[in-house]
């Protein structure tokens, strides 16, 4: 049950074809608008073909992690053993059981326990979907997962086969639903499918997705295979147009910030801040292994190498220049082993080899970007820090500017508080003037990221014009506006207390100090 729960926490999805946006018909292409499955009977796709293509699109989309490691395989399709194994596991969850059986009936056996696959069938499904299976790696990965203590998939081993269970979405706590489908068939046998991702049961619009498919007569998914998927965070049109990717300047930090949200780190003896130009690394003795330069605004996976040390990275071409040193590192991962160690340090004094401290925070999820970017620290079997992963948000933009873009709360009336603060209830859109020591007055603002569904209840605290913190609950997403109070502890330190209920009906609490006497 533990393994099933781990997967469920990732969230699941449902299918939908409602509320289709109208788009203009392009030259040399055919637009199929399936406002419902029944209405598609006269289109170039049959009802059965549309269901199979949607099953492929949804399963590929769901396999893309929302966490920071997803950037490693951004835009790719089934490019890792883990993603391929998840695809097989999720096929029985993406649609009703009948669609899965009709799609897979020639390659899988369906029993009362679930979908039974052998190694050859698994390869055929992945290759039909658009992935490439290397030798026995996928089968070995699934085998190892069945014997792991903390697995991301749960299957039953029967001889030389695996049984993938059929799970019901209706009994799950939350899931993902895909809506607003657009099918655009190009003249070169390319099919583009556009759709939206929602978090349920709250119906939270999160992502815009686009899947590019190519004609493959051998594919069980209506003769199409996936080539490339693009996923973008749902944003207002004016925010999209204000995203600045080219106005970048870089100065290496003199030291490390106290806050992880500043993306500072030290490798060996040098300080950096994401996004880092490749030149900053090459100047420090690293070399970049890269197959080809990505186009402007696009990313590629690569590798930084120094002697025997290797760091997997993702680089982005912000400037449009066609040389390696003008690229920027936006994601990387360090995983030290006994044979290879890279010395590093992060905000909060976290260093390679440090013993894990209970109750210390070893991650940062960026609430300005739906917690999809940030930092996470990893540990070895002895609870010693042995690595970390860091990914930078896609927009080069000031964080306060980003908050203001995503919030309807405008700085309003200033409210001066008395020095003897006690359980002062705070409201959004106001500026609180808080007395501090040495006759200092602290300005505190409260704003919500309410211009986007995924940030409606995400709370932003701004202290003296700078971001103090962004909070969307410690256990999950707030499902209503939290209660915010200002108070003072026995030492005279002023703090904000946030109390709210999250999507799992847990009561979350955050205490953030405004002043701190040392």
Kindly state whether residues 440 and 488 are assigned to the same domain.
Answer: yes
Does a structural domain hold residue 217? yes
| SS3 call for 461 | strand
End residue of a domain, out of 363, 391, 419:
391
- Please say whether the beta carbons of 389 and 374 come within 8 A: no
CA angle 149, 151, 155 (to 5 degrees): 110
Question: What's the rounded Cα separation, in Å, for the pair 118 and 163?
Answer: 9
Does a structural domain hold residue 38? no
- DSSP states of 137-148 as a string? HHHHHHHHHHT-
Counting every residue, how long is the chain? 518
Per DSSP, helices labelled H in 318-461 are 399-406
Torsion angle of C-alpha atoms 113, 115, 120, 122, degrees rounded to 10: -130
Question: What's the rounded Cα separation, in Å, for the pair 262 and 264?
Answer: 6
Kindly state whether residues 229 and 270 are assigned to the same domain.
Answer: no
Using alpha carbons, select from 331, 336, 291 the residue that is nearest to residue 313: 331
Tokens of 398: 């000031």
Question: What's the rounded Cα separation, in Å, for the pair 175 and 388?
Answer: 29
Beta-carbon count within 10 A of 31 CB: 15
- Please say whether the beta carbons of 431 and 445 come within 8 A: yes
Kindly state whether residues 358 and 443 are assigned to the same domain.
Answer: no
pLDDT of residue 167: 76
Enumerate residues 6+ apart whose C-beta is below 8 A from 145: 85, 151, 152, 153, 155
Does a structural domain hold residue 85? yes
Give phi and psi for 139, each to the nearest 5. -65, -40
End residue of a domain, out of 391, 414, 436:
391
Does a structural domain hold residue 125? yes
- Distance, C-alpha 31 to centroid of its chain: 30
Kindly state whether residues 88 and 216 are assigned to the same domain.
Answer: yes
Kindly state whether residues 303 and 409 are assigned to the same domain.
Answer: no
Kindly state whether residues 114 and 196 are assigned to the same domain.
Answer: yes
Kindly state whether residues 376 and 421 are assigned to the same domain.
Answer: no
Does a structural domain hold residue 154? yes
Kindly state whether residues 54 and 144 are assigned to the same domain.
Answer: yes
pLDDT of residue 95: 67
Terminal C-alpha separation, the chain = 47
Question: What's the rounded Cα separation, in Å, for the pair 378 and 287?
Answer: 25
End residue of a domain, out of 391, 423, 455:
391
pLDDT of residue 415: 93
Using alpha carbons, select from 508, 404, 412 the residue that is nearest to residue 466: 404
- Distance, C-alpha 394 to centroid of its chain: 12
Question: What's the rounded Cα separation, in Å, for the pair 290 and 304?
Answer: 9
Does a structural domain hold residue 373? yes
**Model-level pTM?**
0.81
Pairing state of beta strands 161-164 and 190-200? unpaired
pLDDT of residue 247: 63
**Spatial strand order in the sheet of 344-346:** 270-273, 264-267, 344-346, 350-351
CA distances from 364 to 113, 249, 347, 388, 407 (A): 40, 24, 10, 11, 22
Does a structural domain hold residue 8? no
Does a structural domain hold residue 243? no
Kindly state whether residues 270 and 374 are assigned to the same domain.
Answer: yes
Kindly state whether residues 308 and 331 are assigned to the same domain.
Answer: yes
For every one of its 518 residues, what pLDDT tens digit does the chain have, with 9 covering 90 and above? 434 333 333 333 333 333 333 333 333 444 454 433 333 333 588 999 999 999 999 999 988 766 666 666 677 789 888 889 989 988 877 767 788 899 999 999 998 888 999 999 999 999 999 999 877 889 988 888 876 665 667 888 888 899 988 876 666 666 888 999 999 998 888 999 999 999 887 889 999 999 999 999 999 999 999 999 988 899 998 887 665 555 678 899 999 998 898 999 999 999 999 999 999 999 999 999 999 999 888 888 899 999 989 999 999 998 889 899 989 999 999 988 777 789 999 998 999 999 999 888 899 989 999 888 999 999 998 999 999 999 988 776 788 999 999 999 987 789 999 988 888 999 998 999 999 877 889 999 999 999 999 999 999 999 999 999 998 755 566 778 889 999 999 888 999 999 887 766 667 778 999 987 65
Kindly state whether residues 176 and 309 are assigned to the same domain.
Answer: no
Question: What's the rounded Cα separation, in Å, for the pair 497 and 424?
Answer: 10
Show the domain range for 172: 47-233
Kindly state whether residues 100 and 201 are assigned to the same domain.
Answer: yes
Number of domains the chain contains: 3
């Amino acid at each position: 049950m533990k393994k099933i729960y781990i997967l469920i926490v990732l969230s699941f999805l449902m299918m939908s074809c409602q509320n289709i946006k109208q788009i203009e018909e392009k030259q040399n292409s055919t637009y199929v608008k399936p406002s419902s499955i029944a209405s598609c009977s006269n289109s170039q796709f049959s009802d059965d073909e549309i269901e199979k293509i949607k099953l492929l699109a949804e399963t590929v989309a769901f396999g893309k992690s929302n966490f920071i490691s997803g950037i490693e395989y951004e835009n790719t399709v089934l490019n890792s053993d883990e993603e391929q194994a998840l695809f097989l596991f999720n096929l029985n969850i993406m649609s009703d059981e009948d669609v899965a059986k009709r799609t897979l009936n020639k390659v899988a056996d369906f029993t009362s326990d679930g979908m039974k696959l052998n190694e050859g069938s698994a390869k055929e499904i992945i290759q039909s979907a658009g992935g490439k299976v290397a030798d026995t790696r996928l089968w070995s990965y699934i085998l190892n997962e069945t014997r792991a203590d903390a697995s991301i998939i749960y299957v039953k081993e029967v001889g030389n086969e695996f049984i993938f269970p059929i799970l019901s979405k209706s009994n799950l706590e939350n899931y993902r639903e895909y809506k607003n489908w657009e099918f655009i068939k190009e003249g070169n046998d390319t099919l583009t499918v556009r759709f939206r991702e929602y978090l349920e049961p709250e119906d939270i619009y999160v992502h815009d997705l686009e899947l590019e498919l190519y004609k493959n007569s051998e594919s069980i998914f209506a003769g199409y295979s996936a080539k490339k998927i693009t996923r973008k965070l749902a944003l207002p049109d004016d925010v999209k147009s204000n995203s600045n990717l080219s106005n970048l300047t870089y100065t290496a930090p003199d030291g490390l910030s106290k806050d992880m949200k500043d993306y500072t780190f030290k490798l060996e003896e040098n300080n950096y801040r994401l996004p880092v130009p490749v030149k900053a690394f090459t100047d420090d003795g690293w070399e970049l292994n890269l197959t080809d330069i990505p186009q402007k605004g696009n990313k590629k996976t690569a590798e930084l190498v120094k002697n025997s040390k290797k760091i997997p990275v993702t680089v982005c071409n912000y400037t449009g220049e066609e040389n390696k040193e003008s690229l920027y590192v936006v994601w990387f991962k360090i995983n030290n082993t006994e044979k290879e160690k890279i010395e590093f340090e992060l905000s909060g004094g976290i260093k390679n080899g440090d013993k894990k401290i209970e109750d210390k925070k070893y991650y940062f999820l960026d609430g300005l970007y739906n917690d999809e970017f940030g930092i996470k620290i990893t540990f070895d079997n002895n609870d010693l820090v042995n690595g970390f992963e860091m990914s930078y948000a896609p927009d080069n933009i000031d964080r306060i500017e980003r908050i203001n873009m995503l919030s309807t709360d405008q700085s309003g009336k200033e409210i001066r508080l008395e020095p003897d603060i006690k359980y002062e209830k705070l409201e959004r859109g106001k500026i609180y003037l808080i007395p501090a020591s040495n006759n200092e007055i602290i300005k505190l603002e409260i704003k919500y990221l309410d211009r986007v569904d995924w940030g409606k209840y995400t709370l932003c605290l701004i202290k003296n014009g700078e971001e103090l913190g962004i909070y969307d609950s410690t256990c999950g997403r707030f499902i209503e506006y939290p209660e915010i109070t200002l108070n003072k502890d026995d030492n005279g330190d002023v703090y904000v207390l946030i109390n709210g209920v999250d999507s799992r009906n847990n009561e979350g609490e955050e205490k953030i100090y405004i002043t701190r006497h040392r």
